[in-house]
């Protein structure tokens, strides 16, 4: 019985420690990036490029609500004179799934000239997208659009890679998967921290995957 109690106590202590570490890493990300995140478009400093991070696309090529809000937010920044051009970055690792083409098509439907759009077909995750934006596409001044729960990790990565990026919140509605995504984000923070500490290189530095 004593052994069982010790095991239970150790498990509880271990769980509490894990929770503290998870919340601690999240707090570090938020503290380092709080001054870089904007919600009021009138306060967003002008930058050269708006970076749109990819998210899921439906089988018919239609943007998911999360991705549509990111792209619509980027268009708002452009229409308000806060940015001059677009970088769309996302997953295109197979012929039958292409986040980038879907975003470009949507932008063009909304009246954005194709000459203003740069496509990154190998932004397989947030770290790769940020790394490639600065190192491959040589973007020095940028506003990143994504949801509020995603911005601290995104900007923590960019800041620690030496890029002078800021973020603008793309939340325009409640998302059905928001709770799950927020919990996933807590775990993704550890991956981002590890990648930043190692100065990891993306899977590819080519313009797109083959």
In this predicted structure, what is the pLDDT of residue 67? 95
CATH annotation of 2-198: 3.40.50.620
Q: Which of 153, 164, 162 is nearest to 25 (CA)?
A: 153
pLDDT digits (tens, 9 = 90+) for 58-95: 888 899 999 999 999 999 999 999 999 999 999 887 77
- Tokens 């452009």, located at residue: 78
pLDDT digits (tens, 9 = 90+) for 124-178: 899 999 999 999 999 989 999 999 999 999 999 999 999 999 999 997 767 666 6
pTM: 0.84
In this predicted structure, what is the pLDDT of residue 186? 75
């Amino acid at each position: 019985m004593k052994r069982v109690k010790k095991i239970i106590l150790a498990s509880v202590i271990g769980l509490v420690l894990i929770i503290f570490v998870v919340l601690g890493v999240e707090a570090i990300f938020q503290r380092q990036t709080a001054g870089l995140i904007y919600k009021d478009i009138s306060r967003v400093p002008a930058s050269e490029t708006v970076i749109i991070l990819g998210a899921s696309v439906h089988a018919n090529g239609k943007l998911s609500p999360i991705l549509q809000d990111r792209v619509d937010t980027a268009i708002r920044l452009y229409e308000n004179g806060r940015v001059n051009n677009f970088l769309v970055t996302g997953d295109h690792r197979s012929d039958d799934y292409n986040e980038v083409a879907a975003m470009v098509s949507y932008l063009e439907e909304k009246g954005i000239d194709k000459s203003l759009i740069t496509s990154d077909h190998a932004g397989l995750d947030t770290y790769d997208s940020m790394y490639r934006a600065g190192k491959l596409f040589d973007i020095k001044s940028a506003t990143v659009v994504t949801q509020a729960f995603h911005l601290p990790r995104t900007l923590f990565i960019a800041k620690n890679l030496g890029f002078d990026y800021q973020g603008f919140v793309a939340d325009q509605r409640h998302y059905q998967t928001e709770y799950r995504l927020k919990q996933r984000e807590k775990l993704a923070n550890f991956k981002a921290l590890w990648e930043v500490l190692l100065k990891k290189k993306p899977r590819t530095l080519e313009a797109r995957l083959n």
